[in-house]
Each structure stands twice: as structure tokens, then as C-alpha cells.
Amino acid sequence: GESVGLHLPTLSVQEGDNSIINCAYSNSASDYFIWYKQESGKGPQFIIDIRSNMDKRQGQRVTVLLNKTVKHLSLQIAATQPGDSAVYFCAENAVENQGGKLIFGQGTELSVKP
């Protein structure tokens, strides 16, 4: 029979605007978080990471915010460019429970309109 595909959450922004991609994580014991960018047909590419003893970390045009109280992670991209169009994944690690392995979220598709 015909299968119904699951659609990723999509965020559409205008070129030059700021983008905010959100991620809810599941394990309160997670102590390391990472964001990946995946372009069509390619493997995930590291963007930025943050440890649980931090609330905020900045990179080049990107900022990651961590709210441990509500188990929420966000990725902010400043001055979004067409080259930022991709699927963005957050991942968490809880050394205690997972032995150091990353658990990935479902991903959010970012579409940048020129």
C-alpha cells in the first residue's frame, strides 16, 4: 500500500532575517548538546556545541541557547543566507545513561527565501 511520509517541521525566513530553530530534549541527565546542519545529499556537518554548565555559546553568526529548566535548546542564525538552507538537527548526550552516544532529534528544515 501507499506509505505516508512524515514531514519535518519547516521554518521559512527571508534572506537577511534572523532564524531561530528550537529543539526539546528528553533526558534531564544530558550534559552535552550539539547542532548539526545537513544539506541535501550530504552528511551532517557540525555547527556548534554546548555543555550543560553553560546557558549560551556563540560562534560565527550562530548562537546556541540552553534552558535546562524546560529542557529546551535553540539555535539562532544571524543574517540568514540562502546557503543556510538545510535540515538542522540537535543532538544530546547523557554520559551516565548512554555511554557517551549522541541521540538525535528529528530535524527542522530551514528554507531561506531570496
Partner 1 sequence: DAGITQSPRYKITETGRQVTLMCHQTWSHSYMFWYRQDLGHGLRLIYYSAAADITDKGEVPDGYVVSRSKTENFPLTLESATRSQTSVYFCASSESLPWEQYFGPGTRLTVT
Which residues bind to partner 1, rule: CB under 8 A? 5-6, 31-32, 34, 36, 41-46, 49, 89, 91, 93, 95, 99-102, 104-107
CB atoms within 10 A of CB 44: 18
Which cell numbers in the block locate residue 111? 528554507
Using the minimum distance from each CB to partner 1, give the nearer residue, 45 or 81.
Answer: 45
How near is the Cβ of 99 to partner 1 at its closest, in Å? 8
Using the minimum distance from each CB to partner 1, give the nearer residue, 1 or 5.
Answer: 5
How near is the Cβ of 50 to partner 1 at its closest, in Å? 11
How near is the Cβ of 60 to partner 1 at its closest, in Å? 16
Using the minimum distance from each CB to partner 1, give the nearer residue, 41 or 114.
Answer: 41
Let me know: does 19 contact 110? Beta carbons within 8 Å. Answer: yes
Determine the Cα–Cα distance for residues 114 and 108; give it in Å rounded to an integer: 19
How near is the Cβ of 100 to partner 1 at its closest, in Å? 3
Surface-to-core class of residue 6, CB atoms within 10 Å of its CB (0-12 exposed, 13-18 middle, 19+ buried): exposed
